[in-house]
Amino acid sequence: MRRRTLLSGIAGTTAVAVAGCIGGEESGGDETEPGEYEEPEIETVDQEQLDGADGDDERHVETAATVVVDDDRIEIEGQLEASTPCHEAVVTDVDGDGDTLTVTVEVEDAAGEDEMCTQVISEIEYEATIAFEDGAPETVVVVHQDRAGEETATEYDV
């Protein structure tokens, strides 16, 4: 019993001593590199079936997005084309390359395994927000990857 008490006391003292050494200097807050961003938030706000759109390879939904930039965040609204209304929009890549931020938004099947979905081309509308620690970049490019392929939806100069 004494051995276990002694070993646990040594282990606890060593952990506290080492933790102080590993942490380095305290800076009073998180330091980030310019242009670092938080995890994007995205929400599918509407799903609409398109009447008269057949399953051809033509685009039936305009590839467009709007960008609004505040001091520390970017808001993007856009629409994607999906093969069924059982899809949702997801941010699959955020690439900060110098003064340009490229955001890729795709459609993802949201139907469960046991769920049936109508096979009809649909418009999926979304809203996304990306917060920045040190302000937004100079240019924001939004790329859509959907049923009809990959296209640049907008290139916005801040």
Q: What would the pLDDT profile of 27-44 be if each residue is shown by its tens digit? A: 444 444 546 788 999 999
Does residue 16 form part of some domain?
no
Structural domain includes residue 5: no
Classify burial at 76, counting beta carbons within 10 Å of its beta carbon; exposed 0-12, middle 13-18, buried 19 or more. buried
Residue 101: name the closest of 143, 63, 60 by CA: 143
Residue 24 covered by a domain: no
Q: Measured in Å, how far apart are the chain's first and last C-alpha atoms? A: 67
Higher-confidence position of 82 and 23: 82
**How many structural domains is the chain composed of?**
1
Indicate whether 127 belongs to any domain. yes
**For residue 80, is it within any domain?**
yes
Distance CA 42, CA 144 (A): 14
Domain membership of residue 11 (yes or no) is: no
* Strand partners for 130: 74
Which residue range(s) make up the domain with 150?
A: 41-157
pTM for the full predicted model: 0.73
Q: What is the mean pLDDT of residues 96-111?
A: 91
Q: What are 47-103's pLDDT values in tens digits?
A: 998 876 665 667 788 889 999 998 789 999 999 999 889 999 999 999 987 789 999
Radius of gyration (Cα) for the chain, nearest Å?
A: 24
100 to 65, 86, 97, 146, 156: CA distances (angstroms): 16, 32, 5, 22, 10
